[in-house]
Amino acid sequence: MAGDAIYLDHLATTPLLPEAREAMLPFLGERFGQPGSIHQQGLAARDALARAREQFSVLVNAESPESILFTSSGTEAVNHAIKGLAWHSRRRGSHIVCSAIEHPAVLASIEFLKRDGITCTRVPVDGEGFIDPGAVRRAITDETFLIATHAANYDAGTIQPVRELGAVAADAGVTFLVEANYTGGWLPLNVQELGIDLLTLSPHRFYGPKGVGVLYRNRRVRLAPLIHGGTQEAGLRAGIENVAAIVGAGVAAEQAGRD
């Protein structure tokens, strides 16, 4: 950064971790293969993706690395979680519960689904921005298939009672999504302990590169793909993965787990 300026906008994005940059460089040069190829270059890329999946699996205590899906951004991960679940769960219900202060990616995804007959109850928060688990419980109907919330609010900084909200979802048999695009890598988010079924992360906010997002999916949860074509990401996201960015994100995730 020029002069003596001090960067204080880490909520927007963070500088790239030097170790992440170093790990990325070979995949921007001599290791240029694509993970779907069966030759040496392709196998090296495939192994790199598997390593990054393992690093994120450890960070969030996923059931297995196969629960980790890579996207282009945290926003895409949110869209995939909400729309993918809704499109796969058409016969299960048509109602979503969220708070009134969700990230625009959450609210816009739900708004988009209204054309498909999806309805939503936005639960108000208190003066400090906290979501009341009791209010969420009361908002659930027989048609509710998703409770969507955030780990911490990106404006107010309020850390939500995720464990209690997860218990509400579990009691009702409803899928529980936590958007953690601003808090992943900073707050501990043990998906198994917290009862989280879907979790989104944005690595560029914890010293990873831009151009990659992460979606954790409990293997019991079924999603429809948003992007069609190839069989990448367990058939849920067609298109060749951004290997270099994913490698860097994995290194950032590993470092975040240590800190």
| pTM across the whole model | 0.95
Query: What does the domain layout of the chain look like in residue ranges?
Result: 18-258
Name residue 216's beta-bridge partners: 68, 199
pLDDT band at 1 (very low <50, low <70, confident <90, very high): low
Question: Is the pLDDT at 62 greater than 90, yes or no?
Answer: yes
pLDDT digits (tens, 9 = 90+) for 29-56: 988 888 888 898 888 889 999 999 999 9
- What's the pLDDT score for residue 30? 87
Supply the CATH classification number for the domain 18-258.
Answer: 3.40.640.10
Please report where in the chains the tokens 């298939």 appear, as a residue. 145
